[in-house]
Copies of this chain bind each other. A is one copy, B any other.
Amino acid sequence: MPISSPLTLVVNCGSSSLKFALYDPREPEALLGGLAECLDSPDARIRFDADGERTVTPLAGGGHREALDALLAFLAARGLLERVAAVGHRVVHGGERFTQSAEVSAEVLADIEACAELAPLHNPANLIGIRAAMAALPAARQVAVFDTAFHQTMAPEAYLYALPQQYRRDYGVRRYGFHGTSHRCVSQRAIERLELDPTDNALVVLHLGNGASATAVRNGRSVDTSMGLTPVEGLVMGTRCGDVDAGALLYIARRAGLDLDAVDTMINKKSGLLGLSELSNDCRTLEQAAAAGHEGAQLALDVFCYRIARTVGALAASLPRLDALVFTGGIGENSAHVRAKVLERLAIFGLDLDPERNDVTRGGACAVISRSHRPAAIVVPTDEEGTIARDTAAIAFGLSASAAEVA
C-alpha cells in the first residue's frame, strides 16, 4: 500500500466551532483530530490531537475560515495536505431533499442553502466550511453527510404534526429528526454485536449527550424519532426543554411578557437539566451534586431519566417487538446512574439490569448491561466522524461503506 494513499478529512462546523478528523480509509481510527472553538471571539483557539500530543494555538478573533486555514497549514507542515483527496462535511439539515449522503455540486449547495431556513444557526456554518474547503482544496471531492437523512424513511403518520397543513406545504413544517449519523452508526454496530438478523430486527437507540434524541430502528431504518422540525423536541437535554405543552409556552409568554426571541432563548438555553436543577446543564456535575444532597440536581436527573423511559415506550409502539435498547453519546456511554434508572423503569418491556456490567462500562467500551437477552440493553460508542469518513470515502473513492446502507 503506497504511503501516498488518499486521505479523508472530516469537517464539522458548529455555529462557533469547527471539529475535524483525518482518516486513512483503510483504518478505522482517525490519524489525527481536533477542535477549533470560541470562533469569532477574542478567545478563539484551535486544538490539535496528533501522535499522542495535544497542541493549542490561539486564533484571536478568527472565524471558520481562519480555523480551516490553520488546520490546512498544520496538515501541510506534516506532508499530509497533498494526500487529502476527499472532505466529508457534516450538514445539520437536509430537509426532505437529502435521504442519504451526497457529493457536493452547485445544485447540492443550492439545496443545502434552501434548507438553511429550517436550521438558521447550523446550515450557514456548515456552508462556510464547505465553501472554504472547496477554495482551499479545489482538487478534493467534497461530500455532505446530513443529520436528518437517516430519518427520511419515516412514514407520514410519524412525521406529520397535527397543525394546519398549509405550513407543511409552504414552510416544510414536519418532523425531520437529527443525530441521524449517530443513530445509523450505533444501530448498525448493535445489530452486529448482538448478532441480530439484519433483515428482521427492532431497536430503540438513545443518543444521550448535550443534545439528546431517541430513535426506533426497524431493520436498519428509522421509523420514528424524538426530535422534530428542530432539535428542541423530545428528551430533556442540557439546556433544551424537550417535549412541553404548547399551551404552557403561551401561558408563560403572556404572564412573563416574553416575545418570540425570549421564548426561543428560554426553551433552547435556559431549560432542560439546567432549568430543572438551577445548577448546571452537565450530567456529570449533576450526579456529583445529587450525591452531595442537592435537591434540584436530583430532580433534574429524575425527570431526565423518567422522560427517557417515557420516550422509549412511545417509540416502541412503532416496533413489533424490542430486540435491544442501545445507549450512546457522552451520557449514554458514561453514566451508569442514568442507564440504571432508565432500565429500572422499563421492566414492562422485559428489560433489566446487570449492575456489575453496568458499573464498569464507560469511556468508549461496548458492552451488554442487561441480564436479559431479548431485549438486551447495550452500550455502543458512537463514531459520527468515522461514519462521515466512511460515507465520504464510499462516494469519493467508490469504497463500499455505510453510505450504501442508507440507499
- Which A residues are within 8 Å of any B CB, using their own CB? 117-118, 156-158, 160-165, 167, 171, 173, 175, 224, 227-233, 236-237, 240-256, 260, 263-264, 266-268, 270-273, 275-276, 278, 296, 299-300, 302-307, 309-322, 345-349
Name 7 extra pairs, CB < 8 A, besides A162-B300, A173-B248: A162-B236, A247-B268, A310-B315, A311-B314, A312-B317, A313-B313, A321-B348
Given A319-B348, A348-B322; A246-B267 close (CB under 8 Å)? yes
Chain A contact residues: helix, strand, loop or mixed: helix
Give the residue of B230, B275, B314 whose beta carbon is less than 8 angstroms from that of A245.
B230
B264 and A167 contacting across the interface, CB-CB below 8 Å? no
A312-B250 Cα distance, complex, nearest whole Å:
26
A313 and B317 contacting across the interface, CB-CB below 8 Å? yes
Given A299-B156, A316-B348; A233-B246 close (CB under 8 Å)? yes
A304-B228 Cα distance, complex, nearest whole Å:
17
Measured between beta carbons, the chain B residues less than 8 angstroms from A268 are: 247
A251-B255 Cα distance, complex, nearest whole Å:
21
Q: What are 25 A-B pairs at a CB distance below 8 A?
A: A156-B303, A157-B299, A160-B299, A161-B245, A162-B240, A162-B272, A162-B273, A162-B300, A162-B303, A162-B304, A164-B266, A165-B296, A167-B256, A171-B255, A228-B247, A230-B251, A232-B247, A246-B246, A246-B267, A311-B314, A313-B313, A313-B314, A314-B314, A318-B345, A322-B348
Looking at A164, A240, A316, the one whose CB has the most chain B CB atoms below 10 A away is: A164
